[in-house]
Amino acid sequence: MNLFNCGLNHSSPLLVSLFHFFFPIFYLKTIFVPPVLGFPSKMERSIILVFLSLLLLFFNHCSFLHVHSSGITLRRPNEHVRFNLIHRHSPELGEDPGTTLGPPSSQRERIKQLMHGDNARLHTISQRIGPRRKNVEVMMATTYKINLVELPMRSAADIGTGQYFVSFRVGSPPKKFIMIADTGSSLTWMKCKYKCKNCSRERTILDERIFQANKSRTFKPIPCSSDVCKIDLFRSFSLAHCPTPMAPCGYDYRYADGTRVVGIFGNDTVKVRLSGGEKIKVTDVMVGCSETIRGNFHDIDGVMGLGFDRYSFAVKAAKQFGHKFSYCLVDHLSPSNLVNFLVFGEVSISPLPNMQHTELILGIINPYYAVNVSGISVDGKMLDIPSDVWDVRGDGGVIMDSGASLTFLVKPVFDKVIAAFQAPLSKFEKLELNLGPDYCFSDAGFKESMIPKLAIHFADGAKLAPPVKSYVIDADDGVKCLGFASTGWPGTTVIGNILQQNHLWEFDLKNSKLGFAPSSCTFH
Q: Tell me: the pLDDT tens digits for 401-456?
A: 988 888 999 999 999 999 999 999 999 999 987 766 789 999 999 999 999 999 99
Q: Residue 291 in contact with residue 239, Cβ under 8 Å?
A: no
Identify whether 91 is preceded by a cis peptide bond (ω within 30 of 0).
no
Spatial separation of the C-alpha atoms in residues 448 and 62, rounded to whole Å: 57
Q: DSSP strand E in 80-215: where?
A: 81-87, 149-154, 164-170, 175-182, 189-193, 211-212
101-115, 375-389, 430-444, 483-497: lowest mean pLDDT where? 101-115
How much is the CA Rg of the chain, to the nearest whole Å?
Answer: 27
Active site residue 309: no
**Nearest residue to 480 via CA among 518, 455, 448:** 448
Residue range 344-362: mean pLDDT, rounded: 82
Q: Which of 290-304, 329-343, 441-455 comes out lowest in average pLDDT?
A: 329-343
Q: Which residues of 453-492 are buried (b: 16+ CB within 10 A; e: fewer)?
A: ebbbbbeeebebebbebbbbbbbbeebbbbbbbbbebbbb
What is the second-level CATH architecture of the domain 348-518?
Beta Barrel (2.40)
Would residue 508 show up in a list of annotated catalytic residues for this protein?
Answer: no
Catalytic residue among 268, 301, 401, 476: 401
Domain boundary assignment for the chain: 12-67, 81-105+144-341, 348-518
Going by their DSSP bridges, the two strands 356-361 and 260-273 should be labelled as unpaired
Minimum mean pLDDT range among 57-71, 137-151, 248-262, 414-428: 137-151
Q: What is the pLDDT of residue 55?
A: 55
Mean residue pLDDT of the chain comes to: 76
Residue in 118, 158, 182, 257 annotated catalytic: 182
Superfamily of domain 81-105+144-341: Acid Proteases (2.40.70.10)
User: Is 81-105+144-341's fold the same as 348-518's?
Assistant: yes
More confident residue, 116 or 388: 388
Cα–chain-centroid distance for residue 257? 22
Single pTM value for the model: 0.75
Lowest mean pLDDT among 109-123, 153-167, 495-509: 153-167
Residue predicted with more confidence, 198 or 125: 125
How many Å apart are CA 416 and CA 333, to the nearest integer? 28
pLDDT tens profile 85-112 = 876 555 555 555 445 555 555 666 666 6
**In 3-state terms, what secondary structure has residue 78?**
coil
pLDDT score at 40: 54
Distances (CA, A) of 113 to 194, 448, 475: 34, 25, 11
Quick one: what percent of the chain has pLDDT higher than 90? 42
Sign, Cα dihedral of 271, 276, 278, 284 = negative
Answer yes or no: is pLDDT of 165 > 90: no
Angle between helices 12-32 and 42-63 (to 10 degrees): 160
- Please give the backbone phi and psi of residue 45, each rounded to the nearest 5 degrees, phi first: -65, -35
- Residues 31-42: what's their mean pLDDT? 49
CA distance 334 to 475: 15
